[in-house]
Structure 1
Amino acid sequence: MPRHNERKYRAVSALQRRIGNPILRRLPFQTLLETTGRTSGLPRPTPVGGRRVGDSFWLVSEFGERSQYVRNIKADPRVRVRLRGRWHTGTAHLLPDDDPIARLRGLPRMNSTAVRAMGSGLLTVRVDLDG
């Protein structure tokens, strides 16, 4: 990873971990992706932006396979997604062959803009929601 991208990753990750995520997780209608910690086995809720399309929820990980929730998905793809205050179970799929920039065009504009500006190594994630 180029040095600029590494600095960006460290800065954005620290900001999200210490300030953004703790605040956003508390907002009742913030969309959350809950994975199972690959080491701890504990639930790990992460604020995300994305969109439900039919029985799937789509999002783009701003740091791809470096994101902790993506690493958790690789270990256990069973997840929960909180949409509009309601939890849904599902199975997450990492889609490295999908075009994440094109995918972002169909997702909420504010989040998509932030992901493009702050991210590197983007990765599309689809969650197939259960019933």
Structure 2
Amino acid sequence: MPTTSETITNFFQKRIANPLMRRNPFQTLLETTGRKSGEPRRTPLGGKLVGNQFWFVSEFGERSQYVRNINADPHVRVRLRGKWHAGTAHLVPDDDAQARLRELPQFNSVGVRTFGTNLLTVRVDLDGAS
């Protein structure tokens, strides 16, 4: 069951922040396939490209809708600097998510650290531009 903090954060992200951020052509986006609808679902997030891998931390872990979508279908796309890249997402529960956040861009990490209740590292192995 979601905490009050999760409920408030989810409402803010879904209704206010995410619709605005999706309009920014250079905002990093994660595109998953909706596990029920089969439709593309785009989530603004922050992370870091390391070689051919994109790393980020989910603030609500297994309860995040995009993590549930990844569990159903790990084939995703990530928009980095305005260019889409296909890839395969992997949940990395054994990774130290707090340490990982220290390696990621601080702007996003502050929000994840502040509101996150169940941190989970995610790695996307990128195939290339699509």
Question: What TM-score bracket applies, with the shorter chain setting the length?
Answer: over 0.9
Aligned to 2:52: 55
Aligned to 1:67: 64
How far did residue 8 of structure 1 move? 0.4
Q: After superposition, give the CA deviation of every residue in 1:53-92 in whole Å (9 maximum; x if it has no partner).
A: 0000000000001100000000000000000000000000
Aligned to 1:7: 4
d(CA) in 1 for partners of 2:97, 2:22 = 24
Q: Normalising to structure 2: TM-score of the pair?
A: 0.96
What do you get for the CA RMSD once the two structures are aligned? 0.9
How far did residue 101 of structure 1 move? 0.2
d(CA) in 1 for partners of 2:34, 2:56 = 19
Local SS of the residue matching 2:103: coil
2:87 is the alignment partner of 1:90? yes
Q: Normalising to structure 1: TM-score of the pair?
A: 0.96
- In the alignment, structure 2 segments of 5+ residues that lack a partner are none
Q: Percent identity of the aligned residues?
A: 68
Aligned to 2:15: 18
Instruction: Report the AA paired with residue 59 of structure 2.
Output: E
- In the alignment, structure 1 segments of 5+ residues that lack a partner are none
d(CA) in 1 for partners of 2:116, 2:101 = 12
d(CA) in 1 for partners of 2:23, 2:70 = 22
In the TM superposition, 1:78-117 aligns within 5 A as: 78-117=75-114
How far did residue 114 of structure 1 move? 1.0
Instruction: Report the AA paired with residue 30 of structure 2.
Output: L
d(CA) in 2 for partners of 1:85, 1:50 = 15
d(CA) in 2 for partners of 1:66, 1:80 = 20
Aligned to 1:127: 124
d(CA) in 2 for partners of 1:96, 1:112 = 18
2:31 is the alignment partner of 1:34? yes
